[in-house]
Amino acid sequence: MSDNILEIRNMKKHFHLGGGKILKAVDRFSIEIKRGETFGLVGESGCGKSTAGRTIIRMYNATSGEVLFNGQDVHKLNGKKLREFRRNTAMVFQDPYASLNPRMTVGNSIAEGMDIHNLYTGKKRRDRVAELIQAVGLNEEHINRFPHEFSGGQRQRIGIARALAIEPQFIIADEPISALDVSIQAQVVNLFKSLQKEHGLTYLFIAHDLAMVKYISDRIGVMYLGNLVEVTTSTELYAKPLHPYTESLLSAIPIPDPEVERVRERIILEGEVPSPVNPPSGCPFRTRCPKAMEICAASMPAMKEVYPQHYVSCHLY
């Protein structure tokens, strides 16, 4: 079996808005995700990272390109193969308040995926729910309660148990900690990490909080206006960011040392993010890039491997 659980080639997701207008939510997106790794996807809100996640998992059909999961094109699957894919992939959503049915007990919510895929019934189903609720740090006594009786952090744990219930190989976590108190965020991230170790899971972890993404991810992709602009290991990205957009994102992270924090240079970007309905010609970042050159308006920079395993799309390289 290949090392890569996912190979995504030139994936695009465009939405037709009427009147001939096209929203290019995801326009240039090619990555490989290795089995057992956590791939972080970062960028400002509206940059297309959630749409990319939903297209990978086939909540949306791709406009073009290929999404290969275990070597099979997700967007061409049907029947038994599609059901198998659905069982091998799961999603944890940002809003733990909205993602649970308020009229369903926690136990039934967790078991919903198992029921859809006819995995367990009777005692086996009850035992599995009990096992899952404990795996995410809650108690068996919580099984018959309703979502409103839980805190945000606890609800997100329930969301994770729901995702795990179908024993997936791959989980997309879409801003799973953004709605939680800062004090709870690290606990939930640590839970993701320990479950990954235990179950050999692969994650696509979508977030705008770069500090948290660094902590959990093996590799990171940076997105801007529907395009991946830089991909490398988490260590390399923070030590040696190459793309001017990545540099500006990293410069905004506060440094805990007050001496360093006092003298460090912050890159404040000017202007607004352009509309994905009417993106700039050439490099999508050129209207805000402090290093833009003439060529940047004329042609889109190709993604190049500038250092081993460090890819960037910028005419500076």
Inter-CA distances, 293 with 240, 244, 290, 297, 309, Å: 22, 12, 9, 8, 26
For residue 219, report the phi and psi dihedrals to the nearest 5 degrees: -130, 160
Helix, strand, coil percentages in the chain from 3-state DSSP, rounded to 5: 35, 25, 40
Using the minimum distance from each CB to ligand SF4, give the nearer residue, 51 or 227: 227
Counting contacts by CB under 6 A, is residue 176 touching ligand SF4? Answer: no
Using the minimum distance from each CB to ligand SF4, give the nearer residue, 49 or 243: 243
Q: Choose the binding region for ligand SF4 from 68-76, 77-85, 131-139, 281-289 (rule: CB under 6 A).
A: 281-289
Q: Choose the binding region for ligand SF4 from 90-98, 170-178, 203-211, 284-292 (rule: CB under 6 A).
A: 284-292
Q: Answer yes or no: are the C-beta atoms of 94 and 160 closer than 8 Å.
A: no
Full DSSP string of 107-152: HHHHHHHHHHTT---HHHHHHHHHHHHHHTT--GGGTTS-GGGS-H
Task: Report d(CA 292, CA 143) in Å as an integer.
Answer: 56
Helix and strand element counts for the chain (H, E): 11, 13
Counting contacts by CB under 6 A, is residue 128 touching ligand SF4? Answer: no
Among 291, 302, 307, 309, binds ligand SF4 (CB under 6 A): 291
Task: Provide the β-strand partners of residue 91.
Answer: 172
Q: Answer yes or no: are the C-beta atoms of 87 and 163 closer than 8 Å.
A: no
Counting contacts by CB under 6 A, is residue 286 touching ligand SF4? Answer: yes
Measured from the CB of residue 84, what is the shortest distance to ligand SF4 in angstroms? 41
| Sign of the CA dihedral running 116, 120, 123, 125 | negative
Measured from the CB of residue 314, what is the shortest distance to ligand SF4 in angstroms? 3
Task: Provide the β-strand partners of residue 50.
Answer: none
Among 96, 107, 113, 301, binds ligand SF4 (CB under 6 A): 301
Looking at residues 232 to 261 of the shown chain, list those that interact with ligand SF4 (rule: CB under 6 A).
243-244
Counting contacts by CB under 6 A, is residue 269 touching ligand SF4? Answer: no
Task: Report d(CA 180, CA 151) in Å as an integer.
Answer: 9
Using the minimum distance from each CB to ligand SF4, give the nearer residue, 104 or 316: 316
Using the minimum distance from each CB to ligand SF4, give the nearer residue, 91 or 296: 296
Counting contacts by CB under 6 A, is residue 231 touching ligand SF4? Answer: no
H helices present in the chain, as ranges? 49-56, 79-88, 106-116, 122-135, 152-164, 182-199, 210-216, 234-239, 244-251, 258-263, 294-298
Counting contacts by CB under 6 A, is residue 292 touching ligand SF4? Answer: yes
Using the minimum distance from each CB to ligand SF4, give the nearer residue, 116 or 252: 252
Using the minimum distance from each CB to ligand SF4, give the nearer residue, 4 or 287: 287
In this structure, the number of other CB atoms found within 10 A of the CB of residue 262 comes to 8
Counting contacts by CB under 6 A, is residue 21 touching ligand SF4? Answer: no
Counting contacts by CB under 6 A, is residue 296 touching ligand SF4? Answer: yes
Among 293, 298, 305, 307, binds ligand SF4 (CB under 6 A): 293
Q: Choose the binding region for ligand SF4 from 35-43, 204-212, 213-221, 292-300 (rule: CB under 6 A).
A: 292-300
Using the minimum distance from each CB to ligand SF4, give the nearer residue, 138 or 289: 289
Counting contacts by CB under 6 A, is residue 285 touching ligand SF4? Answer: yes
Binding site for ligand SF4 (CB under 6 A): 243-244, 283, 285-286, 289, 291-293, 296, 301, 314-316
